[in-house]
Structure 1
Amino acid sequence: MNRRTFFLGTALTTLLPPLPVLAAPTPATLYKNPQCSCCEGYAAYLRQNGFTVDVKPTNDLAEISENAGVPAKYQGCHTMFVGNYVVDGHVPVEVVRKLLSERPPIAGITLPGMPTGSPGMTGPKTQKFVIYAVTKDGKAPTVYATV
């Protein structure tokens, strides 16, 4: 290496700001009813927001959700596992990121049902979404976030 190349490289290294490190995509596995298309919309939404999503059709969705700690009346139309948590239903990505950054001692979160205007669902949002925290010890779900 000659002096010119060395000095040019040194100058560029000290004068230019560091390049941002691109975060690796967050892996997730989403279980869905084989006939449900809104779940594919939710998976696409997650992919657009930095997740890699492995979609697995199943006819055992209620059992998967229940085994993960989501009571029947709080279940959504699909169940996702991400970062050692369960995320049930059409939970907005900012709430999923909040869960993954805060790392609370819960089994996961759920947005019950299929609310209009939620990620992956059609139509305008007509109400606030209440996302619940669930545990595996049988305690009643509590409000985790409202968006």
Structure 2
Amino acid sequence: MQIEISPTRRRMLLGAVQALAGLAIAGTASATETPPKMTVTRDPNCGCCGKWVEHIKAAGFPVEVVQVDDVMPLKTRLGVPEALMSCHTAEIGGYVIEGHVPAEAVKRLLVERPKATGIAVAGMPIGSPGMEVPGQAPQTYEIVIFSAGRQSVFARYRGVQQV
């Protein structure tokens, strides 16, 4: 049985295909746009924080650095769980980034946009961005996604490579 498509239906189908193609192209363009500005709050005496900021800037993030003597009030206000606290706290796109989180994980967070307060790398794992130690192999560590009363593993990394 042969089905004829009237010119009107054919035009609608062609229009839908063109619209989908346009959306796909627009999605590709937005993925290459400059990410939103990141505000990093850090202690002015911490060298590893500066190295982490360099890592983030090298990944294309525009960064504003705020230096304060005590970052704890900010961490508390933003809802960073005590067990996940590290040496610096960043804010970007409505999320909190705590500690030595690789830039690729931040990009993933901004693309996926999960309902969460933010992501964190607890402590200062050797080999994480800003914590590179010549002659020492990078440690494997977890990036935790967190919200009030909820935490789970977002990703596992060794150095700047996801594992």
Look up the match of 2:141.
129
Q: Which amino acid aligns with 1:69?
A: G
Determine whether 1:39 maps to 2:41: no
Return the alpha-carbon distance in structure 2 between the equivalents of residues 24 and 128 of structure 1. 29
Q: Secondary structure at the match of 1:100?
A: helix
Q: Distance in 1 between matches of 2:142 and 2:98?
A: 12
Structure 2 residue identity aligned to 1:50: G
Could you tell me whether the CA contact under 8 Å between 1:118 and 1:125 is conserved in 2? no
Give the structure with the larger helix fraction: 2
Q: 1:69–1:134: 8 Å Cα contact kept in structure 2?
A: no
- Is 1:96 the equivalent of 2:106? yes
Match of 1:142 in 2: 152
Question: Residue 76 of structure 1 aligns to a residue in which SS?
Answer: coil
Give TM-score, length-normalised by structure 2: 0.71
What is the deviation of 1:94? 1.0
1:26 touches 1:50 (CA, 8 Å); kept in 2? Answer: no
Superposition map of 1:1-147 within 5 A: 23-123=33-133, 124-135=136-147, 137=148, 139-147=149-157
SS of 1:81's partner is strand
User: Structure 2: how far apart are the matches of 1:103 and 1:27?
Assistant: 16
CA shift, 1:97, in A, is 0.7
Backbone CA RMSD of aligned residues: 1.7
- The unaligned stretches of length 5 or more in structure 2 are 1-27, 158-163
% identical equivalent positions: 36
The alignment of Structure 1 onto Structure 2 pairs a total of residues equal to 126
CA displacement 1:100-147 (0-9 Å, x = unmatched): 000000000000111111111121443212011111x3x142211112
Q: Deviations over 1:38-60 (max 9, x none)?
A: 11111111111110111111123
DSSP 3-state at the match of 1:24: coil
How far apart, in 2, do the equivalents of 1:28 and 1:126 lie? 26
In 2: Cα distance, 1:25 partner to 1:106 partner? 19
Q: Secondary structure at the match of 1:98?
A: helix
Please list every run of 5 or more consecutive structure 1 residues that lacks an aligned counterpart in the other structure.
Answer: 1-19
Cα separation, partners in 2 of 1:25 and 1:141, compared to 1, 3 Å: closer
Higher RCO, 1 or 2 (CA under 8 Å, sep at least 6)? 1
Q: 1:70 & 1:42 partners in 2: Cα distance?
A: 19
